[in-house]
Amino acid sequence: MKYYKDSDNQTYVYQDDGSEDHLIPSDQIKITEEEANILVDQEFNAQPYFEKRVREYPSIGDQLDALFHAGVFPEEMAAQIQAVKDKYPKE
């Protein structure tokens, strides 16, 4: 892979085989993979906690399904969900 950065230290990765060379703007600077990883880590660490959490939380669908299976929903909601699950069973 080829690693580049722009004037804002945003990192970009391109294929080594040259197939994406036409996509590399002339103002981007070639950097090493290590430099790219450092910039990505810095960008991630600068994000607020809630953006970091969003990346690691299970999807909302998975969270709701876990609550359904734990029996936490009111009976009416559980019945609606079960009706959909029965209508479209896992294959």
Q: Are residues 70 and 33 in the same domain?
A: no
Q: Are residues 82 and 40 in the same domain?
A: no
Q: Are residues 41 and 81 in the same domain?
A: no
3-state SS, the chain, equals CEEEECCCCCEEEECCCCCCHHHCCCCCEEECHHHHHHHHHHHHHHCCHHHHHHHHCCCHHHHHHHHHHCCCCCHHHHHHHHHHHHHCCCC
pLDDT (average), residues 53-66? 94
Q: What is the domain extent for residue 20?
A: 2-56
Domain count of the chain?
2
The answer to whether 12 touches 3, Cβ cutoff 8 Å, is yes
CA 54 from chain center: how many Å? 9
Residue 42 structure tokens: 């810095």
Rounded to two decimals, the pTM is: 0.57
Q: Are residues 48 and 90 in the same domain?
A: no
Averaged confidence pLDDT in the chain: 95
pLDDT (average), residues 60-89? 94
pLDDT score of 91 more than 90: no
pLDDT score of 8 more than 90: yes
pLDDT score, position 65: 94
Q: Are residues 48 and 27 in the same domain?
A: yes
Per residue in 10-43, pLDDT (tens digit) is 999 999 999 999 999 999 999 999 999 999 999 9
